[in-house]
């Protein structure tokens, strides 16, 4: 069995106000069945129905359906990296539509700031299972287990927004004091001294990944 992740970009950002306090939500298609996706994989609807039912019972209904910001390397949700809470996951035909509230956590606050900077965020499901080749399509086998319905993942504009935040000295970059001033200075020097646009893009991506990894 291997870790299987799937990214979906059809996500809306919603703001709700209650008792004078604003809450940010993301909503959209979290899981897709019976269709070959861009990774060349297909999830049988029966498998997703079974796993979503278990996920709703074990996690959503009990308020434990957490997700992370970025691409975790394993199936376990790390509480210190949680950025949102999935509040609903319902079937619509062959798809499953979800809704998640962005949390007031270090990673949740980064997600909010990225959205404020105009970064388009998507969601990525995470689970473990095996694949079987059928007519040129990798079909997810019946042993699949859903770990989380949605991590928040960014499009390629996220590293640019992060770098702009560094250059402009924006508070959210400091992530509640977890990133040291010397590290910010080191990143700045690396970007300023990049010998080519290709190296600059690579260093931007590396800096952003390093930033998420330190939280």
Question: What local confidence, expressed as pLDDT, does residue 155 receive?
Answer: 62
Domain residues of the chain, as ranges?
2-154, 157-213
Question: What local confidence, expressed as pLDDT, does residue 166 receive?
Answer: 65
Question: What local confidence, expressed as pLDDT, does residue 201 receive?
Answer: 82
Question: What local confidence, expressed as pLDDT, does residue 169 receive?
Answer: 63
Question: What local confidence, expressed as pLDDT, does residue 63 receive?
Answer: 97
Alpha-carbon gap, residue 115 to 101, rounded angstroms: 14
Spot the catalytic one: 53, 124, 186, 197.
124
Alpha-carbon gap, residue 54 to 62, rounded angstroms: 12
Question: What local confidence, expressed as pLDDT, does residue 26 receive?
Answer: 92
Question: What local confidence, expressed as pLDDT, does residue 185 receive?
Answer: 77
| All residues at 6 or more sequence positions from 8 whose CB lies less than 8 Å from its CB, including other chains | 28, 29, 30, 31, 32, 122, 123, 124, 125
Q: What is the dihedral of CA 194, 200, 206, 207, to 10 degrees?
A: 70
Mark whether 53 is an active-site residue: no
Spot the catalytic one: 53, 58, 62, 71.
71
**What predicted TM-score, i.e. pTM, was given to this entire model?**
0.77
Beginning with the edge strand found earlier in the chain, give each strand of the sheet holding 21-32 in spatial order. Answer: 11-18, 21-32, 95-102, 82-92, 66-68
Cβ proximity of 149 and 189 under 8 Å: no
Mark whether 124 is an active-site residue: yes
Question: What local confidence, expressed as pLDDT, does residue 167 receive?
Answer: 66
> In Å, how far from its chain's centre is CA 45?
23
Question: What local confidence, expressed as pLDDT, does residue 7 receive?
Answer: 85
Alpha-carbon gap, residue 106 to 127, rounded angstroms: 24
Spans of the chain, pLDDT less than 50: 156, 176-178
> In Å, how far from its chain's centre is CA 200?
24
């Amino acid at each position: 069995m291997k870790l299987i992740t799937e990214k979906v970009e059809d996500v809306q950002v919603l703001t709700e106000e209650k008792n004078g306090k604003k809450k940010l939500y993301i909503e959209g298609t979290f899981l897709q069945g019976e269709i070959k996706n861009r990774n060349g994989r297909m999830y049988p609807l029966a498998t997703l129905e079974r796993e979503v039912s278990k996920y709703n019972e074990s996690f959503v209904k009990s308020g434990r359906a957490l997700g992370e910001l970025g691409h975790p390397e394993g199936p376990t949700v790390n509480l210190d990296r949680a950025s949102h809470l999935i509040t609903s996951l319902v079937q619509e035909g062959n798809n499953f539509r979800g809704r998640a509230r962005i949390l007031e956590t270090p990673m949740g606050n980064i997600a909010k700031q990225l959205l404020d900077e105009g970064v388009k965020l998507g969601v990525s499901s995470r689970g473990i299972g095996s694949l079987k080749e059928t007519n040129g399509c990798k079909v997810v086998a019946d042993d699949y287990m859903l770990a989380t319905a949605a991590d928040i993942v960014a499009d390629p504009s996220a590293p640019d927004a992060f770098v702009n935040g560094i250059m402009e000295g924006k508070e959210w970059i400091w992530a509640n004091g977890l990133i040291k001033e010397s590290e910010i200075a080191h990143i700045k020097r690396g970007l300023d001294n990049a010998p080519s646009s290709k190296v600059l893009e690579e260093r931007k991506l590396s800096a952003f990944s390093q930033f998420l990894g330190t939280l």
